[in-house]
Amino acid sequence: MNVAAIIMLAIAVILLVVAYLQGDNLHILGLKTGAKMLWQIMPILIIAFVIAGLIQVLIPREFIIKWLGPEAVTCML
């Protein structure tokens, strides 16, 4: 796990505890709302990752270096 994922996980746990402590099943409502958003956005995310992966293998590295510079290739690894 990278640092950003660990920080986001910590924030999620803290917010979940705060919602639980406030009562009224807010933690359950929050989890259901998050799951509903995930269900709605998941198809778009899957399509976006497929497109990103295909572009990465279809566009030659030389083209990317020419247009974006050599630093752009390091983030494609």
For residue range 1-18, list pLDDT tens digits in order: 799 999 999 999 999 999
Range of the domain at 12: 3-74
pLDDT reported for residue 6: 96
**pLDDT 10s digits, 26-66:** 999 999 999 999 999 999 999 999 998 998 889 888 887 88
Per the model's pLDDT, the better-predicted residue between 67 and 24 turns out to be 24
> b/e map of 16-43 (b: 16 or more CB within 10 Å)?
eeebeeeeeeebeebeeeeeeeeeeeee
The answer to pTM > 0.75 is: no
| Tokens describing residue 56 | 């990465």
Counting the structural domains of the chain, the total is 1
